[in-house]
Amino acid sequence: DATYDATVPTTLEEVWGGVQVCRRCELYREGTQGVAGEGPKTAKLMFVGEQPGDQEDLAGKPFVGPAGKVLDRALDEAGVPRGETFVTNAVKHFRHELRGKRRLHKTPDAGHVEACRWWLDAERAIVRPRVIVALGGTAVLSVFGKPMAIGKFRQQAIQLPDQAQGVVTYHPSYLLRVPDAEVKAKAFALFVDDLKFAWKLAA
């Protein structure tokens, strides 16, 4: 609603409330609820994923489903305490299509990312993290405003206009989908390296 939108949220509670009534794009019709970011306002490191999945949509929290389990395992291995980081998504509602009873993930398009950047920008302005990690292509598009090849730009600190350093890495769901076990293990190890890199950069 345009009246609400006129006021930039200044607390994480306002972001949460605003996301619940957001009409900036049509995805509010698809989701059970909006899923705002989670973590302390003082976090030095922010993770940005794509959008809530099936379980996140039901729980109202980011990265609690299968991708979240991968993220947790990698954070553990990297020695990064998730509770000291801020975890959010580029898009706050679950875009999906129904296949029988199953809700199948559908990648949000550039318009959804654009519309929802309002909320990510608000979270960035409130938390003011030193480092923002974009997990996968949709997050890269949201955070950097353009697509970037993850394999080429990972392990680099990329200056963002709001003082934060940007880091790009793979999306945990990608790691779940790699069919070959050996390739999968290697990709996971690179992901862990990227989390370590970002954590050190934020220290």
Asked if residue 53 binds ligand URA (CB under 6 A), the reply is yes
- Provide the mask over 74-113, with x wherever binding to ligand URA is found by CB under 6 A and - wherever it is not: ---------------x------------------------
Residue 50 found at the interface with ligand URA (CB under 6 A): yes
- Number of continuous H segments (helices) and E segments (strands) in the chain: 9, 7
| Residue indicated by tokens 């994480």 | 12
Give the residue with the Cβ less far from ligand URA, 39 or 49: 49
- Characterize the bridge pairing of strands 165-169 and 102-105: unpaired
Q: Which of 18, 49, 60, 137 binds ligand URA (CB under 6 A)?
A: 49
Quote the CA–CA distance of 116 and 142 in Å, as a whole number. Answer: 9
142 touching ligand URA, by CB under 6 A: no
Distance CA 89, CA 92 (A): 6
Give the residue, chosen from 12, 19, 24, 63, that forms a contact with ligand URA under the rule CB under 6 A: 63
Q: Which residue lies nearer to ligand URA by CB, 9 or 37?
A: 37
**Residues interacting with ligand URA, by CB under 6 A?**
49-53, 56, 62-63, 65, 67-68, 89, 173
